[in-house]
């Protein structure tokens, strides 16, 4: 890519209060490449128990949601993405409470974005898996391998954020970013122009 190549900045999110994966990617429309600039995992439940121990005893996951909002605020400030995209909530009959947790996390993210006058784009998990792996039923390992080995996804690797230490929640957030560039961003850019 050329030095002054125009790009679109996208923040991908794999929602969750136990582990929220987030990544920031720069997508270069002319060459159709996504360069991952940074990625992280936020453990809202763990942070809430550590920083607000007494409040967590009384208010439980409500404090975790506030912690999630604080983390999102910090990520928005440091990354300044043009678009924010998240995996949508899904229902697993073996873990029915997980759906509620996902919805609450997504709502917390939307509250932060509302204050910044930004929208949250939601993508169904099966669409993300199909885009990355070719099958809507791909497991976490398949999505991870699809991300790491994809020709159109490049990583700005550093000593601090080594590709070999990428965890599943970060991989999922990158898959969200990439899916957005393939299925939604072209139409958005077309309408913009």
**pTM for this model (two decimals):** 0.88
Beta-ladder partners of 36:
25, 155
Give pLDDT tens digits for 122-160.
999 999 999 998 888 888 888 989 998 999 999 986 655
- Percent residues over pLDDT 70 in the chain: 85
Q: Going edge to edge, which strands form the sheet with 120-123?
A: 120-123, 83-87, 8-14, 20-28, 33-42, 153-155
Alpha carbon 21 to chain centroid distance? 5
Residue 82's nearest CA partner among 137, 26, 10, 20 is 10
Q: Average pLDDT for residues 45-50, to the nearest whole number?
A: 58
**Nearest-angstrom CA–CA distance, 65 and 23:** 19
Give pLDDT tens digits for 164-174.
678 899 999 99
Axis-axis angle for helices 168-183, 140-148 (nearest 10): 70
Place of tokens 């601090």: 160
């Amino acid at each position: 890519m050329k030095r002054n190549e125009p790009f679109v900045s996208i923040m991908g999110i794999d929602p969750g209060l136990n582990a929220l994966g987030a990544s920031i990617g720069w997508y270069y429309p002319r060459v159709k490449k996504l360069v991952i600039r940074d990625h992280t995992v936020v453990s809202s439940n763990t942070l809430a128990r550590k920083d607000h121990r007494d409040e967590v005893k009384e208010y439980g996951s409500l404090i975790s949601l506030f912690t999630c909002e604080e983390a999102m605020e910090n990520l928005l400030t440091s990354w300044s993405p043009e678009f924010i995209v998240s995996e949508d909530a899904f229902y697993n009959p073996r873990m029915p409470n997980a759906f509620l947790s996902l919805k609450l996390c997504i709502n917390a993210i939307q509250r932060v974005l509302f204050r910044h006058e930004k929208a949250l784009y939601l993508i169904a998990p099966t669409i993300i898996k199909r885009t990355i792996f070719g099958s809507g039923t791909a497991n976490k390992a398949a999505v991870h391998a699809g991300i790491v080995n994809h020709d159109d996804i490049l990583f700005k690797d550093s000593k601090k954020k080594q590709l070999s230490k990428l965890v599943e929640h970060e991989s999922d957030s990158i898959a969200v970013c990439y899916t957005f560039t393939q299925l939604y961003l072209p139409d958005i850019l077309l309408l913009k122009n």
